[in-house]
Amino acid sequence: MIERRLIHCLKALVLVLLLANGRSESVFAAVAADKYTLVYSDTSEPGRGRLQAEEMARKLLAATGKAPKVCADTVPVKGSVVRFKWNEGLSPFAYRITPSRKSTTIEAGGEWAMDHAASALSQWIAAGKSLTSYRADRSLEGLVLFPRRNDANLRILVDNIWDYSAETLPKAWEEAGIDCRDKHRAPQFAQLTRAYMPDVLALQEYNIHMHREFYPLIQTYGYEIAYDSGDGPWNNTPIFYLKDSMELKEVNYHLFTPEQWCNAGTKSFASAVFRHKKNGRLFALINAHLWWKSDKAQPGSTMARAAQIRLIMAEAEIIRQKHDCPIFVVGDMNSEEPSVPIQQFIQEGYVPCYKVATVSTNHDNGHHVCSPTEVGRRESRRKSGTREVGAIDHCLLYNAKTGDEVKVFDCLQPYFTVLITDHYPNLIDANLNAR
């Protein structure tokens, strides 16, 4: 009898403890969103915490009707805290969420990772769950992060990826603790490609050393190079395409001559005609990199670029007469829009994609500081920060048909790209009407 009573007492005690624990957990979980303070570093650039904290506050306000406070780490805070911390020891695509009794820390190696972590934490708080039970150590590598709009059936990604193929690390980069060699940069370019999964990828300053590192990575995502250099001149302006969505119909490659305006065979254009597998439409893409010096550094440079553009326009005209399809001309033209070379395009009816995008666009010029002697910074290399006056990377559309439309043009600016090339990537989302 005593034994039975003891068992009943123990059961009752366990039940009390369980109920008490449940009440404790529910009380903590019931902390309203406006009781949290989201803290970011006052010394970091906005994309390293402040923007994510502000976006998290907006999401919680929309989900719960209550918004947490947002402040810099220079302000004393009490109560439940979420801290945003940049961790250069993590990869650009990795994040870590670590809870303690009253605070939770988000550490990330890049903006995308921090965005993802903040979004996951927002959902957790909105669901009324305790942050003490949320822990994560994850990477975004291999994930598609930015699917295109439903009303766009073509995505093009363009980037000058900076030709640096030396095996040695430049002194400036070594002192900064950053690696700019291809083995370090290639996986990041591959994840950039994976994050957006363009149908067509156009790169400039693409050397054979980078090819050995980069191409096997994107092949695993279903990409194929449109023009294989083989034993001929190396193609520094390659076009890659997603085999599941695009059929390659024809391809051409042209190396600019003479050598005086080509610097070691690095200036060229490639052209490719594709059939869109879903709707059967043909379109073409010409990817170019023009002579780079100023007239002051080498007299005649502007006219050399103008001559190179006339060759590109001749190629486009051949494609137009043969296929009568929309033609995208993209790449590093080393010329600003008001200049003679680019005005040749404009006068012949080529339209800048950023000017005709119907949903959203970006007017940043996209060319920033990055070299063996200068570690990557957002500071622009151009006199003007605007695309119309300062950009040297151009994306133009020629011979569009009724219903063909650029939906989105974007100059992508995640911070990790600042440290792997001196050009921000450009993105085009377009719709090609079925005919």
pLDDT for residue 13: 45
pTM above 0.75, yes or no: yes
CATH number (3.30.379.10, 3.40.50.410, 3.40.50.300, 3.90.1640.30) of 31-139 reads 3.30.379.10
pLDDT for residue 8: 52
Instruction: Using CA atoms of 25, 40, 146, 120 in order, give the dihedral in degrees to the nearest 10.
Output: 0
pLDDT for residue 4: 55
What's the alpha-carbon Rg for the chain, to the nearest Å? Answer: 26
Alpha carbon distance, N-terminus to C-terminus of the chain: 88
> Phi-psi bin for 213: left (phi > 0), alpha (psi -120 to 50), beta?
alpha
292-333: pLDDT as tens digits: 999 999 999 999 999 999 999 999 999 999 999 999 999 999
pLDDT for residue 84: 97
Burial of 133 (0-12, 13-18, 19+ CB in 10 A): exposed
> Phi-psi bin for 324: left (phi > 0), alpha (psi -120 to 50), beta?
left
Strand ranges (E), 277-373: 282-289, 327-332, 351-352, 368-371
pLDDT for residue 371: 94
* Stretch (H or E) spanning 203: strand 200-204
pLDDT for residue 288: 98
Tokens representing residue 168 in the block: 């040695």
129-165: pLDDT as tens digits: 888 889 999 999 999 999 999 999 999 999 999 999 9
Domain borders along the chain are 31-139, 154-431
Q: Residues of the chain whose pLDDT is less than 50?
A: 6-7, 9-30
Q: Tell me if residue 288 falls in helix, strand or coil.
A: strand
The whole-angstrom separation of Cα 362 and Cα 386 is 9
CATH topology of domain 154-431: Deoxyribonuclease I; Chain A (3.60.10)
pLDDT for residue 3: 52
